[in-house]
Amino acid sequence: DGGITQSPKYLFRKEGQNVTLSCEQNLNHDAMYWYRQDPGQGLRLIYYSQIVNDFQKGDIAEGYSVSREKKESFPLTVTSAQKNPTAFYLCASSMSLSSGNTIYFGEGSWLTVV
Amino acid sequence: KQEVTQIPAALSVPEGENLVLNCSFTDSAIYNLQWFRQDPGKGLTSLLLIQSSQREQTSGRLNASLDKSSGRSTLYIAASQPGDSATYLCAVTHGANNLFFGTGTRLTVIP
């Protein structure tokens, strides 16, 4: 089935530890995105990539890093520099949004600091 | 910067009632507007997409309207059912390839 797969669903991070969230899509979409969702705050853009080997910072990129080595993969690393990482993380992909294409989301990953 | 607001934040209605969810945005220079549904602990599912040149879109019991000049959109749900209970988010495409989301309306349909 076509879609976006995020893993793991639940992840626990210790203080000072880096963790990586996986996102894979088989929709042949050019653009991929990472959003963070906190209660009552909607979705905020962390990073996005419109093409392989290129990505741009979103509104809250500090403490996060990404790579886009393959079209279908866009992993997100939450570094120890991110002081409040506990949140729900959503990966998404699309063709050009300005051309009226729909964005598709994965099922999300819960990250908790312990 | 584009800001998207949704009112109300939460809404409870009895089954069978028609209801309207509201979305407003500050910058009318948008490409399109989308309505999404999110179930607890899940990702978002796109319900309707309205291009900036369109006034409304319909899918089954859902109808979304767009008034770009006034920065407003509404999502109308007819004959609500308990299965409609979820959070509904609107988002506008503003700029090259970016979505701006509202904070959502949490809908509960009471059987």
Decide: A77 and A66 in contact? Cβ < 8 Å: yes
Yes or no, beta carbons of A102 and B32 under 8 Å apart? no
pLDDT exceeds cutoff 70 at A108? yes
* Site from A36, A89, A101, A103 to mutate, B interface, most B CB atoms within 10 angstroms: A103
Tens digits of residue pLDDT in B60-100: 999 999 999 999 999 999 999 999 999 999 999 987 667 89
- Tell me the pLDDT band of B11, cut-offs 50, 70 and 90: very high
**Whole-number Å distance between alpha carbons of B111 and B108:** 10
CB contacts of A58 in chain B (<8 Å) are 98
Yes or no, beta carbons of A98 and B99 under 8 Å apart? no
The pLDDT score that the predictor gives to residue A36 is 96
pLDDT exceeds cutoff 70 at A113? yes
Q: Does B32 touch chain A (CB under 8 A)?
A: yes
Q: Which residue of B has its CA nearest to A5?
A: B43
Spatial CB neighbours of A56, under 8 Å, sequence gap ≥ 6: A47, A48, A49, A50
Decide: B38 and B102 in contact? Cβ < 8 Å: no
The pLDDT score that the predictor gives to residue A1 is 59
Tens digits of residue pLDDT in A54-92: 999 999 999 999 999 999 999 999 998 888 899 999 999
Task: Residue A21: name the closest of A3, A1, A51, A47 by CA.
Answer: A47
Say which of B42, B45, B101 has its CB closest to residue A108: B42
Å from A18 to nearest chain B CA? Answer: 23
- The residue assigned the tokens 């419109």 is A50
Decide: B49 and B72 in contact? Cβ < 8 Å: no
pLDDT exceeds cutoff 70 at A2? no
Tens digits of residue pLDDT in B19-49: 999 999 999 999 999 999 999 989 999 999 9
